[in-house]
Structure 1
Amino acid sequence: MGGTDVYGTHGTHAVVPIRKGAIMFAEELRRFPDVFQSPTPASLTLNPALSSPEERSRAVDDVLKTLQARGLVDGWRGELYPVAPSFHAPPLLSLERAAAVHFGIKAYGVHLNGYVRLPGSGALELWVATRSRLKPTWPGRLDHMVAGGQPQGLSCAANIEKECWEEAGVPAELARTAVPVGAVSYAARQAAGVKRDVLFCYDLELPLDFVPQPQDDEVEGFERWPLERVAEGVAGGERFKDNCNLVIIDFLLRHGYLGPDTPGYLELLTGLRSGDCS
């Protein structure tokens, strides 16, 4: 990303990227020198004395709980994200999900497009969720049928099955027919830091008579939309949760709704993996 970004590993020590929008948070971390040190003015690193993933995780968690009590870490989830250079690499530590954006770490999620194929024409329609207006993030916006962060200690397949039931009432035997179809990636600057995500994409063809039913309080309801309406909603840029746009565009490309003669086709293909996809 250029500038004063510092991200990666020095030996076994995770390095935190510092940006102008996160300077205040970085200064707060400097108040804990037993955990965070400053090898250069533009970076923080974990104390080398924290020599194992377990020690680092405990130390960082203690700091984050202190900052959360002071209102500096919002939306505490109680879910741990692994901090690692790539998805299958051993984690250097585990970090509370709500703090991921503050540190600019790469996080992972699963996003599923649930669709039906109409008899006769073969046209596809997507199930679209409306997020609860009580959610702290993107309240009332449109979403996939199923999506969720990828927590530590759970396979993507098991996570899809869990999220399918919790968010849409999809029974396990049907959820297991979801097909992994790739991934999209991005980096987005936010007030708290940099959100760096890799989203594993799944397609799930559903029976015509299946109607999703939310089992938790994250979704208000579902509607089934023709692809043309979905594409218009994405192009409008106002209705869908931002990262859902990418996964839907990927679906539209793969299923031929958008083709090489569509203006911007190659730019769309390139942009879907604009972040570090590793």
Structure 2
Amino acid sequence: MSGLMSNLDIMKEADAFPYEDKEPEAFKALNETLYTLVWQDGQPLGYMLESVLKQLLDTPEEVRGPVIVDEAKRTVRAFELPTNEERSARVAGLMKYWRENETFDILRGWRDEPWPVYGSDNKQVLYSVERSGTGLLGIMRYGVHMTGYVKDETASHGMKILVAQRAATKSTYPNMLDNSVAGGLMTDENPFECIIREADEEADIPEELMRERAKFTGMDTYIYITDERAGGEAGQIYPETQWVYDIELPANFIPSPKDGEVAGFWLWTVDEVREKLAQGQFKPNCALILVDFFIRHNIITRENEPDYDEIIRRLHRKLPFPGPHQDGQPTTIL
């Protein structure tokens, strides 16, 4: 069947930002359209589109505060107030102004969820940004993803995987397939507590079962570039880190959507999941997480995947931005 995606195709869709050593012309062309948001010490914080910078400069200074643009270096400095609270309030006021003036379509998906921007020490939060506006600044985005499975000796590879379908009403990637559970990580939120909360809200997985069985398997890092499915302006740069978890569920467990974000669940064999992946039916970063799952469970190996090394590189992309991912650990083989 023609038109199917390979494992490397799946990775390239999620980790879409060109690599300088492998794609120098594409890397150069894209970077010529971007400005780097930097902190006062020169630390890069994100990649901002020219269209966003123009709107930032057109915003009244009493709303946005001082903005310093270095055209030669293509850098932007902004929000440099004395405290986290003042900086966060400045960014919140900017996002509110843009939302009220309908400056960017992406802000129609307003979440009221503050997401962190870290400084050079990878631990201090410089300021927080409304979740739906993070892509406008091109800053790091953090989330949690979990793949649930049940053991089944009659199935291929001895397991079946719990797959969620996103609700048709979702503002981003409606109707596409997801991991079992996933969500965004807010400022000061513990990743494990976040996945416990999301597991309850999205699949009605009891907290005690999560604490007993959910296992942290590592962090995945990549840079996604949005398209129209993301619910706003295409071409936004999403550097992302996901805390990744697995959970072996009891064979008789029945998930139940609770928060309206999930249309339903299926328990599919590995072969069925891989077929849907090849057809492009999964949300891109969820597809990446599943490729990671298959590597850790020795379903995808160096012996059966000719692009194995590049896939591993794209699962753990080195990012220029600070944050806890810089101190994270690579995914381990189970």
Compute the TM-score of the two structures, normalised by the length of structure 1: 0.91
| Structure (1/2) with the larger helix percentage | 2
In structure 1, the partner of 2:170 is 135
3-state SS, counterpart of residue 152 of structure 1: coil
Match of 1:51 among 78, 82, 85: 82
* Partner Cα separation in structure 1 for residue 183 and residue 195 of structure 2: 8
3-state SS, counterpart of residue 189 of structure 2: coil
Q: CA deviation at 1:13?
A: 8.6
User: Residues 111 and 247 of structure 1 are in contact (CA less than 8 Å); yes or no, is this contact kept in structure 2?
Assistant: yes
Match of 1:149 among 184, 208, 223: 184
Point out which structure has higher relative CO (alpha carbons under 8 A, 6+ apart). Answer: 2
CA 1:131–1:15: 2 relative to 1, 3 Å = closer
In structure 2, the partner of 1:234 is 277
The residue correspondences of 1:89-238 to structure 2 (distance < 5 A) are 89-119=123-153, 123-176=158-211, 177-190=213-226, 191=234, 193-236=236-279, 238=280
CA 1:12–1:65: 2 relative to 1, 3 Å = farther
CA 1:170–1:45: 2 relative to 1, 3 Å = same
Q: CA deviation at 1:6?
A: 2.0
* Partner Cα separation in structure 1 for residue 120 and residue 185 of structure 2: 13
Question: Superposition RMSD on alpha carbons, in Å?
Answer: 2.2
| Matching residue's letter, 2:137 | F
Q: What per-residue deviation string (whole Å, max 9, x for no partner) do you get for residues 146-199 of structure 1?
A: 000011122111101100000000000011121000111111223252111001
Is 1:67 aligned to 2:98, yes or no? yes
In structure 2, the partner of 1:29 is 56
Q: CA deviation at 1:233?
A: 1.6
* Partner Cα separation in structure 1 for residue 79 and residue 288 of structure 2: 38
* Partner Cα separation in structure 1 for residue 45 and residue 258 of structure 2: 39
CA 1:87–1:158: 2 relative to 1, 3 Å = farther
Q: CA deviation at 1:7?
A: 4.2
User: Residues 5 and 17 of structure 1 are in contact (CA less than 8 Å); yes or no, is this contact kept in structure 2?
Assistant: yes
Matched residue pairs, number? 273
| Matching residue's letter, 1:183 | M
User: Residues 180 and 202 of structure 1 are in contact (CA less than 8 Å); yes or no, is this contact kept in structure 2?
Assistant: yes
Q: CA deviation at 1:51?
A: 1.2
* Partner Cα separation in structure 2 for residue 88 and residue 225 of structure 1: 39
In structure 1, the partner of 2:5 is none
CA 1:192–1:98: 2 relative to 1, 3 Å = farther
In structure 2, the partner of 1:11 is 41
3-state SS, counterpart of residue 10 of structure 1: coil
User: Residues 38 and 75 of structure 2 are in contact (CA less than 8 Å); yes or no, is this contact kept in structure 1?
Assistant: no
Compute the TM-score of the two structures, normalised by the length of structure 2: 0.76
Q: Which runs of 5+ in 1 are unaligned?
A: none
User: Residues 45 and 139 of structure 2 are in contact (CA less than 8 Å); yes or no, is this contact kept in structure 1?
Assistant: no
| Structure (1/2) with the larger strand percentage | 1
Large movers: runs of 4+ above 6 Å: none
Q: What per-residue deviation string (whole Å, max 9, x for no partner) do you get for residues 189-220 of structure 1?
A: 23252111001110000000001101110001
In structure 2, the partner of 1:82 is 116
* Partner Cα separation in structure 2 for residue 95 and residue 14 of structure 1: 16
* Partner Cα separation in structure 2 for residue 186 and residue 96 of structure 1: 21
CA 1:37–1:15: 2 relative to 1, 3 Å = farther
